[in-house]
């Protein structure tokens, strides 16, 4: 057993001095209680210990004793060895979770942080001075508002791609997928998965990006056609579905999806490395089967009101809504020209449009092209 220390703290030295006055009948215990700023009952207890054991009676009983919950040196070395091998780039919080989940080693985040700092394997990050922003209250219903954004990052080592995420404002429930770039096709694909899984939400909250929202002025041709607010293909699809699109003026405005990006750029990158995943297809399977179910369970919360704001999809064919549509005219030879390609409308069709009629060229996400004329679809 190590010897107890006799060196006193300033608080204990003050108590020795005050109780010395009491012992010499220079002040009363009531006056001592006031000077020490402790209760009269505690003053009686401390003075009794002082009279019985002298100065040592005022030293805390745990001084010099080994704490019962102190980590053994063997346990510390095991934790550090595993951390160096697998989790060398993990923060203490995430590392503590993985130690418990994958190695059945249970250590508190604070203890692990102290251990890593002492071993010079982790440094506390300096807090940045932040601009004060008022927190926007969450929406009350699931499906009332969905935040939508893409995160470009080196997700697989040096391979840079985009993770597009939709997250419900009320519950934090999310769906994400990897794509090579942040495109309209990627946005539509994730939206397709959301609608198939949850239903049609009331509103989307996203960046002022061409993939989601057009911010340009209308062209002369659009003005002549009565179009004062041009929409992207994604915006047109949302209008058909009755989904209101809100464009954010700053990243902070859609803080929930931005915070998820920061979490993913820390946790997901490391999870992908541990799983040995280096391509988009495997990463998307990992997202769907492992990562997203775990994250939704960990970070989601119940909505303030239980009524679901989603509208059921019903018998609607989403592939005919979440697609690209272009206005064209039928040539004199019944040919529609589109992106340096010629599409012939056969005279054998039961219903035949006239030349110079306007048609819509519809390109689905799977690459299927069709010509639409007055609700009649010609497959080409």
Between 67 and 191, the more confident residue is 191
Q: What is the pLDDT of residues 154-203, one digit of tens each?
A: 998 788 899 999 999 999 999 999 999 988 999 999 999 999 999 999 99
Mean pLDDT on 209-226: 70
Strands 358-364 and 369-373 turn out to be antiparallel
Nearest residue to 314 (alpha-carbon basis) of 195, 143, 166: 195
Q: Is 97 exposed, middle or buried (0-12, 13-18, 19+ CB in 10 A)?
A: middle
Other CB atoms within 10 Å distance of the CB of residue 18: 22
CB 351 within 8 A of CB 375: no
Strands 203-206 and 244-247 turn out to be parallel
How wide is the angle at C-alpha 107 spanned by C-alphas 103 and 108, nearest 5°?
140
The answer for residues whose C-beta is within 8 angstroms of residue 137's C-beta and 6 or more apart is none
Tokens for 358? 């306007």
What is the Cα–Cα distance from 150 to 170, expressed in whole angstroms? Answer: 20
| Per-residue pLDDT, 135 | 58
Confidence label for 253 from pLDDT (cuts 50, 70 and 90): low
Nearest residue to 80 (alpha-carbon basis) of 119, 41, 109: 119
Which of the given ranges, 97-101, 190-194, 352-356, has the highest pLDDT on average? 190-194
| Per-residue pLDDT, 1 | 39
Least confident of 12-21, 66-75, 95-104, 231-240: 66-75
What is the Cα–Cα distance from 334 to 353, expressed in whole angstroms? Answer: 9
Nearest residue to 145 (alpha-carbon basis) of 302, 359, 310, 273: 310
pTM flag (> 0.85): no
What residues form DSSP beta bridges with 372? 360, 377
Confidence label for 229 from pLDDT (cuts 50, 70 and 90): confident
Other CB atoms within 10 Å distance of the CB of residue 173: 22
What is the Cα–Cα distance from 161 to 280, expressed in whole angstroms? Answer: 8
What backbone phi and psi angles, to 5 degrees, belong to 129?
A: -75, 120
Helix 233-241 with 184-198: angle, nearest 10 deg:
20
| Per-residue pLDDT, 316 | 86
What is the Cα–Cα distance from 264 to 259, expressed in whole angstroms? Answer: 9
Mean pLDDT on 18-47: 86
What is the Cα–Cα distance from 96 to 223, expressed in whole angstroms? Answer: 59
What is the Cα–Cα distance from 129 to 357, expressed in whole angstroms? Answer: 61
What is the Cα–Cα distance from 127 to 124, expressed in whole angstroms? Answer: 9
Q: What is the pLDDT of residues 107-139, one digit of tens each?
A: 888 888 888 888 888 877 655 545 545 556 788
**Superfamily for the 146-299 domain:** Ribonuclease H-like superfamily/Ribonuclease H (3.30.420.10)
CB 328 within 8 A of CB 360: yes
CB 214 within 8 A of CB 235: yes
Mean pLDDT on 364-372: 90
CB 232 within 8 A of CB 131: no
Q: What is the pLDDT of residues 195-212, one digit of tens each?
A: 999 999 999 988 776 557
Between 256 and 43, the more confident residue is 43
What is the Cα–Cα distance from 302 to 64, expressed in whole angstroms? Answer: 48
Nearest residue to 311 (alpha-carbon basis) of 235, 230, 238, 215: 238
Q: How far apart are the first and last CA of the chain?
A: 89
What is the Cα–Cα distance from 29 to 40, expressed in whole angstroms? Answer: 8
What is the Cα–Cα distance from 103 to 95, expressed in whole angstroms? Answer: 11
Question: What value does the mean pLDDT of the chain take?
Answer: 83
| Per-residue pLDDT, 153 | 92
Confidence label for 250 from pLDDT (cuts 50, 70 and 90): low
- Domain ranges in the chain are 10-58, 73-118, 146-299, 324-379
Residue 285: pLDDT above 90? yes
């Amino acid at each position: 057993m190590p010897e107890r220390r006799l060196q006193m703290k300033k608080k204990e030295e003050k108590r020795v001095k005050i109780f010395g006055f009491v012992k010499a009948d220079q002040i009363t215990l009531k006056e001592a209680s006031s000077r020490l700023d402790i209760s009269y009952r505690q003053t009686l207890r401390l003075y009794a210990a002082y009279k019985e054991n002298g100065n040592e009676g005022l030293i805390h009983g745990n001084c010099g004793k080994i704490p019962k919950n102190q980590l053994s040196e063997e346990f510390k070395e095991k934790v550090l060895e595993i951390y160096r091998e697998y989790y060398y780039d993990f923060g203490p919080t995430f590392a503590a979770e993985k130690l418990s989940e994958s190695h059945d080693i249970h250590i508190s985040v604070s203890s692990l942080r102290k251990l890593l700092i002492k071993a010079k394997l982790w440094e506390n990050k300096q807090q940045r001075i932040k601009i004060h922003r008022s927190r926007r209250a969450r929406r009350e219903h699931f499906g009332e508002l969905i935040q939508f954004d893409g995160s470009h990052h080196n997700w697989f080592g040096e391979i840079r791609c985009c993770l597009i995420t939709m997250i419900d404002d009320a519950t934090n429930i999310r769906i994400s997928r990897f794509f090579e770039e942040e495109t309209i096709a990627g946005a539509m694909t994730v939206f397709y998965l959301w609608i198939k899984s949850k239903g049609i939400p009331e509103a989307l909250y996203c960046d002022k990006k061409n993939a989601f929202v057009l911010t340009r002025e209308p062209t002369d041709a659009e003005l002549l056609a009565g179009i004062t607010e041009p929409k992207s293909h994604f915006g047109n699809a949302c209008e058909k579905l009755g989904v209101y699109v809100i464009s954010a003026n700053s990243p902070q405005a859609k803080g929930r999806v931005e915070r998820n990006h920061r979490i993913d750029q820390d946790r997901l990158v490391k999870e992908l490395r541990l799983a040995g995943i280096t391509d988009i297809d495997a990463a998307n399977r990992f997202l769907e089967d492992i990562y997203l179910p775990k994250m939704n369970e960990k970070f989601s919360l119940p909505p303030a009101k239980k009524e679901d704001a989603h509208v059921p999809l019903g018998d609607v064919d989403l592939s005919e809504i979440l697609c690209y549509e272009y206005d064209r005219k039928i040539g004199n030879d019944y040919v529609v020209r589109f992106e340096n390609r010629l599409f012939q409308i056969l005279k054998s069709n039961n219903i035949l449009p006239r030349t110079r009629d306007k048609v819509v060229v519809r390109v689905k996400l799977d690459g299927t092209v069709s010509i639409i004329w007055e609700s009649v679809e010609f497959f080409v």
